[in-house]
Chains A and B, each alone.
With several copies, the nearest count.
Chain A
């Protein structure tokens, strides 16, 4: 046996019969990918992880347990994983993940991304998840001893860690102004500024529980923010939508009246669109900015010019209370200047402060608001009640009636 052969043998993959089933098929195979990398880099950690994974497929059980691993000065950003069966799979003993905050909109230059790959291959497994559901670049498979060096090299190139535990989490933003005609504000810039501002709260757990931001340029909500962000920042407009009448006519000519009736007019949730010959009349007072007609006719219809955001608060998963969709807290707010972003941050600060003081352990802000009642929360953060916050007024008399209320609108 030649030396080369010996070396090769030493790094041969162990059989993973269950995993091998996942190599076929048209969809990219993560197993194939892992095997390729481990075969090239001969990182035993990855071989161990594949072995343990195969064992999971056989026994239908997972075998990781948590621990505490971190970088200097930070309390979050590394998810540590130790094998519960390291006696069986010693190569898989440690398999920690570093959460790295990408640029807004998950944009990269090939150059910077290659650098990340190089640093990552140097210190870790070479496996990565692009991206985690929250939006982190997840570097999966580093030993505790390499964590600090890995971080330091990344940090020198402008990469910082994401959140974990009771922190502000890594944000997400849609591609927005970089490419999309529907973007009503600068999702990417706002994401960058807001999350930089909250870097301390991202890195050191000081909150009742996690807090997530997502930034969507319009109500299409391509970041799914309403469902899964404590703070959903969604672009919208206040004035009339812009109509390019020539393009409306072109569209009708091209697609036919039937198509327009069946796919635009009759689909408007508030019946705000009327057909007038070869034109559409938009009843802007009734338009709820749902985006549908703009989506179907992007060349003809565009958001208005008085643009800003709607802030919805409280979105999160179903733990304990059933899935919570965020709900409107600020119907409209400008988001154009530095001052606008500052005002936004000031408001969020008040919310986070209130929640920090009043939230129970492991309670998301939406749950806190639900528990204390929207009223109390509004008072605490200095917001006025607004009809846009509700789908409809209350249907029960169980409230502390406010004697200062006057039933008639102030003139």
Chain B
């Protein structure tokens, strides 16, 4: 390797200086209001009177230099050479020029980036690495995400939901995808099988032991070598140990299932932020299209669309109609696993005589 002449500059995030649209820069912090002229388009108006249109389009997140270059071309053509991404992997172009909006939308469509995701729509799904890159996934997040967004596409491109719907998919129980209105997350159904062959070489045993939330992992000796064992009665199949040590093989083509969670909310609008709750599990890991999962999502969104009031987020709708009705209206089955038995279980119980019959 050639001798290194460059001295690293540790600046942290890239400077914003040349990355902001001039209208953003001019009116920085001086915006007055916004409107949504159509799905996928925002119009922001500054106190100065300046106007900025934003066109939001879908991407696959797992993009390539070819795709990005094409988006850069559109930025040059319609958005004065700037573009940005949203937190949900949508790309946004800004222009003060209303006349650019429709041609930009057309050009985006032509290269495979439909616009949408604004207002009360289903925006792009937040997803994680999956089989493409992570070392512990049980599913391919990108594939599940693609399958879901294909199935829900109409509601990305239209603003017909009661309020915004945010989805996520995570490829193991760790849930890098985070809380969402609806989340699809792996759920294991049996303890890890320990690979004693490799354990001694790859495992930092004390940290693996410490990682287990229920203290189910114990040091032991296997074939005369120090190793680990799992107390199966205690184990809750969470897979946290697998993140710490690759010998704790939790993944299994049949026993690793998918679960669906609903009602995560991050905004402080109206109700406080809430964690999402389990409403379906045991869904098969069925690549390449995971139809059982998309079916559950469609049921949930169908019921929400039909019953939710304007501005009511998914979890708020459920709180209003009650969880009994939620299960009835989606046709999902409540089961005993859904009763919390973890650390804060008590606060999730119905500690009242208030019941909907």
Contact = CB atoms under 8 A, between A and B. Distances in A.
CB atoms of A and B under 8 A apart anywhere in the complex?
A: yes
A65 B267 contact: no
A175 B84 contact: yes
B66 A101 contact: no
B339 A62 contact: no
A37 B271 CA distance: 45
Nearest to B61: A129
Interface in B29-73: 29, 31-34, 44, 52, 54, 58-69, 72-73
Interface string A220-233: 11111111100000
B310 A66 contact: no
B31 A179 contact: yes
Interface stretch (A7-15, A316-324, A350-358): A316-324
A337 interface: no
Given A159-B14, A299-B33, A312-B353, A27 B64 contact: no
A55 to B, nearest CB: 9
B19 A18 contact: no
Interface in B242-275: 246, 251, 253-257, 259-260, 263-264, 266-271, 273, 275
A305 to B, nearest CB: 12
B333 A129 contact: no
Nearest to A317: B175
Nearest to B75: A110
Contacts of B343: 321-322
Nearest to B249: A61
Contacts of A18: 287-288
A117 B72 CA distance: 10
A24 B146 CA distance: 10
A66 B135 contact: yes
B19 A108 contact: yes
A112 interface: yes
A289 interface: yes
Interface in A311-335: 312, 317-328, 331-332
B275 A33 contact: no
B140 interface: yes
Contact of A131 (B12, B89, B176, B177): B89
A289 B126 contact: no
Given A227-B179, A318-B175, A402-B336, A238 B357 contact: yes
Interface size on A, as a range, is: 35 or more
B288 A196 contact: no
Given A199-B10, A326-B351, A320 B281 contact: no
Contacts of B334: 385-387, 393
A59 B202 CA distance: 24
Contact of A148 (B1, B21, B60, B83): B1
A110 B331 CA distance: 48
Contacts of A410: 333
B57 to A, nearest CB: 9
A133 B62 CA distance: 12
Interface in A290-310: 290-292, 295-296, 298-299, 302, 310
Nearest to B52: A179
B266 A227 contact: yes
A254 interface: no
Nearest to A331: B355
Interface in A84-123: 95, 97, 101-114, 117-118, 120-121
A202 interface: yes
A402 B113 CA distance: 41
Contact of A101 (B12, B140, B210, B336): B12
Contacts of A287: 356
A37 B65 CA distance: 8
A178 B82 CA distance: 12
Given A33-B63, A224-B179, A390-B348, A81 B87 contact: no
A180 interface: yes
Interface size on B, as a range, is: 35 or more
A361 B204 CA distance: 13
A129 B268 contact: no
A69 interface: no
Interface in B294-344: 296, 309-311, 320-325, 327, 331-344
A190 to B, nearest CB: 11
A299 to B, nearest CB: 4
B117 to A, nearest CB: 11
A274 interface: no
Nearest to B212: A320
Given A130-B61, A299-B33, A327-B350, A195 B149 contact: no
B288 A191 contact: no
B158 interface: no
B218 interface: no
A393 B339 contact: yes
Nearest to B299: A408
A393 B256 CA distance: 21
Nearest to B232: A400
Given A30-B62, A33-B66, A397-B187, A327 B342 contact: no
Contacts of B203: none
A385 B112 CA distance: 47
A373 B337 CA distance: 10
Given A25-B146, A186-B29, A409-B333, A192 B84 contact: no
A199 B10 CA distance: 6
Contacts of B331: 408-409
Contact of B44 (A148, A180, A188): A180
B176 A317 contact: yes
A97 B28 CA distance: 34
A59 B333 contact: no
A321 to B, nearest CB: 7
B84 A81 contact: no
Q: A-B pairs with the 4 shortest C-beta distances? A: A373-B341, A25-B150, A385-B336, A60-B253
18 contacts: A27-B114, A34-B62, A36-B64, A49-B132, A60-B253, A60-B287, A73-B8, A107-B84, A114-B72, A133-B176, A155-B9, A189-B16, A227-B179, A288-B355, A388-B324, A395-B276, A399-B341, A401-B257
Given A219-B269, A221-B268, A388-B356, 14 more contacts: A60-B254, A64-B133, A71-B8, A107-B20, A128-B62, A177-B29, A186-B29, A221-B273, A236-B353, A285-B356, A317-B178, A331-B355, A391-B348, A401-B188
